[in-house]
Amino acid sequence: MFDYLTQPVWSPYIAGAGIGVLVCLSFLLADRPLGCSSAFVKARGLLERTFNAEGEKKNEYYQQMHPNIDWSFMIIPGVIIGAFVSAVLSGQFHLVWVPPMWGNTFGYNTAIRWFWALLGGILLGLGARWAGGCTSGHGLSGSSQLSFASIVTAICFFAGGIVTAMVIFRVIGGL
Amino acid sequence: MPLLTTIHENRRAQIVLGLLVGIVFGIFLQKGGVTNYSVIVNQLLLTDFTVMKLMLSAVIVAMIGFHVLKHYGYVHLHAAKGSIGANVIGGLIFGIGFALLGFCPGTVAGAVGSGAMDALFGGMAGIVIGTGIFAEIYPRLKTGLLKQGPFPAVTVQEFLHLPLWIMIAIMEVAMIGFLVVLYYLGF
């Protein structure tokens, strides 16, 4: 068991099958899909409640999403802890300010990378809530339920991602 | 199932179980290699198919698991009808962000755990901001764009008028077949 945890990588088929079991466990234990983007809504709603309680109460979206510390909120701290433990045990934990693939193409200026990462994050958060889920909520949990909307959404995630990545790295970056 | 309902209604149990499922999810994401920026970007550049292999393996397992559990009444369907205005437009906005950041909302958290600071100060901060923007514009979107072009069915089998277990068999064969083809193409 411990040997497995110290290996740097597993076969993606094995790791994926394990995630498939977790998707089933989420439906079983929480009666919810395994998703990651609702945790960010809850965090944003709790921030709003702290600094602008009236605004949070009046906002229709937060009324619907119930910002609370619950199952879906805890997934994200869990993923951070799990990945941290896993990375440390296999000697893969490294502080990275700019990912090498970005740095080798566009330079190692931290401010520039963080600006584009921030913009990417904003579009991810906006798009995930617009579509009602992310790569896990739609891509894994929704597709597994044979949800028509989830399968269409997952195709759009990758269609948008592939075109944008090709423009960034092939057209602009010349990679 | 009374036991499951008791677990679902116990707030403290839900917090602990959510954290535990998150931890195991984080381990699988890190070990699967998808908390690495270049693995995700190379998937989007179609030069590395690790993300596809991991996701399809998860769906191959979960599609059978979910429907067997549902058959015996242990789980319920959580799927909404959706629309072009919500799912296609939202999905494409997400896709642009996916390529710019190089992570999605789950893998960004795993990347933070593996030490990626751009994932923390750029990615996670950005997702919180983007979510807030959506919450602000939601009242106007709700009755407009999000309702445009509703999809014809909730599930794929309903759309294609196929029996559930035939649909599952077709999807499983297609997904396994895709992975076998990728393997023989040398990816």
- Contacts of the segment B7-14: beta carbons below 8 A, 24+ positions apart: B7/A29, B8/A29, B8/A30, B8/A31, B11/A70, B14/A30, B14/A70, B14/A71
Find the residue in A nearest to B122 (Cα): A118
Check if B4 contacts A (Cβ < 8 Å). Answer: yes
Q: Give the mean model confidence (pLDDT) for residues B131-145.
A: 95
- A interface mutation test: which of B15, B25, B53, B136 has the most A CBs within 10 A? B25
| Residues of chain B contacting A143 with CB distance shorter than 8 Å | 59, 63
Q: Give the mean model confidence (pLDDT) for residues B58-69.
A: 98
Are A144 and B62 within 8 A, CB to CB?
A: yes
Write out residues 6-25 of B within 8 Å (CB-CB) of A: 7-8, 11, 14-15, 17-25
Clarify whether residues B9 and B73 are in a common domain. no
CB-nearest to A70 from B15, B28, B99 is B15
Clarify whether residues B72 and B158 are in a common domain. yes
Are A101 and B41 within 8 A, CB to CB?
A: yes
CB-nearest to A117 from B18, B25, B122 is B122
Phi, psi of A174 (to 5 degrees): 65, 25
Instruction: Tell me what pLDDT residue A6 has.
Output: 84
Clarify whether residues B64 and B140 are in a common domain. yes
**Min CA distance, A15 vs chain B (Å)?**
5
| ipTM value | 0.96
Instruction: Tell me what pLDDT residue A1 has.
Output: 60
Flag the least confident range among A48-52, B39-43, B158-162.
Answer: A48-52
Residue B79 has pLDDT above 90, yes or no: yes
Clarify whether residues B161 and B180 are in a common domain. yes
Are A122 and B122 within 8 A, CB to CB?
A: no
Whole-model pTM: value is: 0.96
Instruction: Tell me what pLDDT residue B26 has.
Output: 98
Instruction: Tell me what pLDDT residue A5 has.
Output: 81
Clarify whether residues B103 and B14 are in a common domain. no
Residue A149 near residue B89 (C-beta atoms within 8 A) = no
Looking at the structure of chain B, the number of domains it has is: 2
Clarify whether residues B77 and B161 are in a common domain. yes
Residue A8 has pLDDT above 90, yes or no: no
When the pLDDT of each residue in chain B is averaged and rounded to a whole number, the result is 97
**Min CA distance, B140 vs chain A (Å)?**
10
Clarify whether residues B54 and B124 are in a common domain. yes
Phi, psi of B41 (to 5 degrees): -65, -40
Say whether B150 sits in a helix, a strand or coil: strand
Clarify whether residues B116 and B164 are in a common domain. yes
Clarify whether residues B122 and B163 are in a common domain. yes
Instruction: Tell me what pLDDT residue B1 has.
Output: 75
Residue B28 has pLDDT above 90, yes or no: yes
Q: What gap in Å lies between CA A157 and CA A169, rounded to an integer?
A: 18
Find the residue in B nearest to A158 (Cα): B95
Clarify whether residues B113 and B162 are in a common domain. yes
Instruction: Tell me what pLDDT residue A77 has.
Output: 98
Beta carbons within 8 Å of B113's beta carbon, 6+ residues apart: A79, A80, A81, A82, A83, A84, A85, A86, A87, B26, B30, B35
Clarify whether residues B92 and B11 are in a common domain. no
The percentage of residues in chain B with a pLDDT greater than 90, rounded to a whole number, is 98
What is the extent of the structural domain holding B67? 33-184
Are B57 and A150 within 8 A, CB to CB?
A: no
Q: Give the mean model confidence (pLDDT) for residues B31-55.
A: 97
Find the residue in A nearest to B54 (Cα): A16
Are B105 and A47 within 8 A, CB to CB?
A: no
Clarify whether residues B116 and B150 are in a common domain. yes
Are B8 and A30 within 8 A, CB to CB?
A: yes
Handedness of CA B87, A132, A160, B147 (dihedral sign): positive
**Min CA distance, B88 vs chain A (Å)?**
6
Q: In this predicted model, what pLDDT tens digit does every residue of A35-80 receive, in sequence order?
A: 999 999 999 999 999 999 999 999 999 999 999 999 999 999 999 9
